[in-house]
Amino acid sequence: MASILVVDDDACSRTYLVALLNRAGYRVQEACSGLEGLEQVARGAIDLIITDIFMPTMDGLELLAVLDKLHPTNKVIAMSGGGLAMDRKLALHAAHKFGAVALIRKPFNVREVIRTVATALQGVA
């Protein structure tokens, strides 16, 4: 069973995504900030990280940059509601630049989430 870490400061989005992934059969951990996510990644045994882009303290792009240096083999999916600070295209571009394999959009489309996660985890037992 693949293990996924969900990083999002918004408890509502995080809980929703964790529930979706649990129901889809994945083992899921959660973190409410980039820093907390980094700590969990350092403990190992995570196949995929799904991180929000806009977060206080350490945002998703900063997390991606650190992961790219410290844990380059970890697969990462970025998620964003788009919005004013950065539109979806820019978010996708930035996320790819920092090593994200895909982008999930908020609000969540369940089929899109499950498909994107399954694609990212191809080859993981």
Partner 1 sequence: MNASQSEQIQNTEEGYPDFAKLTEMREELGDHFLLVMQHFQSGMLARPQKIRQAFQNNNPEQLALEGHSFKSLCRQLGLSQMETLSVTLESMGRSGQLDGAAPLIERLLAYGLQAHCELQKYCLACGKPSSVQ
Cα gap 1→122, rounded to integer Å: 12
Q: Which is nearer to partner 1, 17 or 76 (CB)?
A: 17
Residue 27: how many other CB atoms lie within 10 Å: 14
Give me the residues that bind partner 1 (CB under 8 A), please: 9-13, 15-16, 19-20, 22-23, 54, 56, 81, 83-85, 106-108, 110
Q: What phi, psi does 79 have (nearest 5°)?
A: -135, 145
Minimum distance from CB of 42 to partner 1 (Å)? 26
Residue 53 makes CB contacts below 8 A (sequence gap 6+) with 59, 60, 61, 78, 79, 80, 86, 91, 94, 95
Minimum distance from CB of 120 to partner 1 (Å)? 20
Q: Which is nearer to partner 1, 54 or 98 (CB)?
A: 54
Q: Which is nearer to partner 1, 23 or 89 (CB)?
A: 23
